[in-house]
């Protein structure tokens, strides 16, 4: 089974280093060239806006899911094929999960981390069975995974949980992971509480 609707969580900041925007543009290009649909937060700013424009330019279908309050600020990417306006961020996350076959986190702030960690948790609980990847541009997520290692060492997180996702700086590796994802792996995993 090949996942063709990729949800991308990423920053809406316009104050970042070009390396982050460039990676978003490159991922958007690859999405389009490989025939994927982009599902994202629907914004026209930051990495969000760059990846959307790049994906659109290269033939992707775009599904933007944006809360009413953000839409009302004029921050929606209006060139999307589908814009879903939600009442709040919780509904937005549920719609993103529903419409996506895979999830990729690019560098971002608290919102990005909250979104991707919820998906990791849902996979851990076997409530979702979809591939998850972190695009670790310029080592952005290194300290997060130092914390995960610390959590494992203190027995708050099981060592096997690293099998729930891929961490890489390589866009092609993400697509290989998604396109070869073993959908039976999570179902086979035993959870002991």
pLDDT in tens, 153-181: 999 988 877 688 999 999 999 999 999 99
Q: Which residue has the higher pLDDT, 186 or 151?
A: 151
| Residue 184: pLDDT band with limits 50, 70, 90 | confident
Res 193: pLDDT: 28
pTM of the model: 0.92
User: What domains appear along the chain, each with residue ranges and CATH number?
Assistant: 5-182 (3.40.50.450)
With both helix axes pointing from N to C terminus, report the angle between 46-57 and 18-33 in degrees, rounded to the nearest 10. 30
Mean pLDDT of 87-111: 97
pLDDT in tens, 26-80: 999 999 999 999 999 999 999 999 999 999 999 999 999 999 999 999 999 999 9
């Amino acid at each position: 089974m090949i996942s063709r609707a990729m949800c991308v969580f990423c920053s809406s900041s316009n104050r970042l280093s070009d390396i982050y925007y460039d990676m978003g543009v490159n991922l958007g290009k690859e999405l389009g060239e490989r025939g994927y649909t982009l599902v994202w937060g629907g914004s026209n700013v930051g990495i969000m806006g760059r990846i959307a424009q790049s994906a659109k330019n290269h033939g992707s279908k775009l599904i933007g899911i944006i809360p009413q309050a953000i839409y009302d600020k004029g921050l929606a990417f209006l060139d999307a094929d589908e814009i879903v306006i939600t009442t709040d961020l919780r509904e937005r996350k549920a719609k993103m999960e529903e419409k996506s076959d895979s999830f990729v986190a690019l560098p971002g702030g608290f919102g990005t981390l909250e979104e991707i960690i919820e998906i990791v948790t849902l996979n851990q609980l076997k409530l979702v069975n979809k591939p998850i990847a972190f695009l670790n541009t310029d080592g952005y997520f290194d300290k997060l995974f130092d914390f995960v290692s610390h959590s494992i060492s203190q027995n708050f997180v099981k060592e096997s949980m690293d099998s729930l996702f891929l961490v890489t700086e390589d866009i092609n590796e993400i697509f290989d992971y998604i396109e070869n994802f073993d959908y039976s792996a999570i179902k086979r995993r035993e959870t002991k509480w």
